[in-house]
Every structure is written in structure tokens, then in C-alpha cells.
Amino acid sequence: MAIDTRGEAADRPSKPSGQPAKKRTSPALYYRQIVAELRKVIWPTRKALINYTTVVLIFVLIMVGIVAGLDFLLTKGVLAVFGGSSTP
């Protein structure tokens, strides 16, 4: 929920419960506020974006390998301790 902080909103007394009165904004003002915030964003260059994506994919592949390896080892360990076969 967007709040309009312009105008006399700051001059109005707060609600008896101690919370300030909130005024809903129009969809047009909400959209303008979103556009204004997106203009402040420093977007990465194509080279930086490719670099970040590569790092994330490599990290995810390494983590998948670690989890799969631990799953395999723990499965073998549990079967060795409690017996049983891996085929039904």
C-alpha cells in the first residue's frame, strides 16, 4: 500500500490509537513512484550480468554435486547399518 507523504498529511493529527493517519494514493501516483524508484537503480552492464550469472550457475552446480554426494553416501551408510538392499 503506497502512502502519499505530500501536502498536509504531516500536519494532520494522528489517530487516537497513536498511529498516524494513512491516505491511500491513486494508481497513477503509485505508478509514478515506482518509475521514480526504478530510475534510481544502477542496472548492471551486459558483461557484469553475464559474469554474475556464470558465478551463480557454477555455485549452484557445485552445491548440487555436494548435496547429491552426501545423499549417496548417507544412503549407503544407512543401508550398511540397517541392512537391506537398494532394489525392491
> Could you give the CA distance from residue 77 to residue 73 in angstroms, rounded to a whole number?
6
69 grid coordinates: 554426494
User: pLDDT, tens digit, for every residue of 26-70?
Assistant: 999 999 999 999 999 999 999 999 999 999 999 999 999 999 999
Tell me how far CA of residue 7 lies from CA of 4, 11, 24, 73, in angstroms: 8, 8, 13, 65
Q: Cell 537503480 sits at which residue?
A: 41
pTM over 0.75? The answer is: no
56 grid coordinates: 551463480
